[in-house]
Amino acid sequence: MAFLIRVALLAWIYQSVLSVVPLRSWEIQHNVRTKESSRAHIGSGFGLDARLVPLDFFVMSKCPYAIACEQRLNDVLALVGEHVRVTPHYIANIDGYPTTCKHGESECLGDRQQLCVLKYAKFHAFWKFLMCQDKNVTSIGEPDTAEACLMELDASASVVSLVKSCYSSDEGDNALRNSAHKTSQLGVRGSCTVWIRGREFPEDSSVEEYVSEICKPSGHVGSSSGCQLMR
């Protein structure tokens, strides 16, 4: 009960701040990124600020645990999204061609679609796309679902067309292979795995535990980034 009140209070404080401070990183991108800037964007989550706390999560797009984990992260980001730099990573088998995924071919497609949105749109748009796809695990990866979710982003026609051509081609497969390669290099196998500041964090922690981990002043992050909202 006390926890619920605290979350409600945090949400209220966050909403109040949100209504007065323009949050540039939450805007959806309407123009086309260059290759250079889209690469810089991957992993930059809610902003490029080096003081942001790195949060990496590793998933398979159709894994029920991943979906539960992403819902939890959604609640966390609603409270402290301004303080983290979120990077999604995918788990897939890239030993041969084609790439294979534990939950079938449609999971590889879903992974590609998510990575292609991340490549061409701002992180906030990626997150919105993810939440849209997660509404129905069965339909993740279906072209109709991807298109419907893309339409919800208010992205420009040029971004939509770049995203579609990305996930329908080798560009999307390469993005998945690169991501899955990095995941396996990092030795991560479980969906969902969460790292905060490069260290594994129990993914099933409560929203409150995530918030206190993200907001604790530590290491290179420095006390200045320690979630003014939380004090």
Let me know: does 117 contact 163? Beta carbons within 8 Å: yes
Measured from the Cβ of residue 64, the count of other Cβ atoms closer than 10 Å reads 12
Shortest approach of ligand NAG to residue 214 CB, angstroms? 33
d(CA 32, CA 3): 43
Phi and psi at residue 156, to the nearest 5°:
-70, 160
Q: How far is the CB of 91 from ligand NAG (least distance, A)?
A: 22
Q: Is the Cβ–Cβ distance between 104 and 140 less than 8 Å?
A: no
Nearer to ligand NAG, 137 or 186 (CB): 137
Q: Is 64 in the site for ligand NAG (CB under 6 A)?
A: no
Q: Considering only residues 14, 38, 75, 142, which one is a binding residue for ligand NAG as defined by CB under 6 A?
A: 142
74 or 139: whose CB is closer to ligand NAG? 139
* Contacting ligand NAG within 4-63 (CB under 6 A): none
- The window from 133-141, 158-166, 181-189, 220-228 that contacts ligand NAG (CB under 6 A) reads 133-141
Task: Report, in Å, the least distance between residue 124 CB and ligand NAG.
Answer: 25
- The token duo for 192 is 């969902």
Binding range to ligand NAG, per CB under 6 A, among 2-10, 106-114, 134-142, 215-223: 134-142
By CB under 6 A, residue 136 contacts ligand NAG: yes
Interface with ligand NAG, residue 131, by CB under 6 A: no
Q: Does 171 bind ligand NAG (CB under 6 A)?
A: no
Contact 31, 156 (CB under 8 A): yes
Between CA 14 and CA 43, with CA 207 as vertex, the angle to 5 degrees is 80
Q: Token pair of 198, please?
A: 């490069």
Under DSSP, the state recorded for 53 is E
- Does 75 bind ligand NAG (CB under 6 A)? Our answer is no
Cα 160 from chain centre: 19
Does position 139 interact with ligand NAG (CB under 6 A)? The reply is yes
Could you tell me the CA-to-CA distances from 220 to 28, 52, 79, 118 in Å, in that order?
29, 10, 22, 26
Give contact residues for ligand NAG (rule: CB under 6 A): 136, 138-139, 142
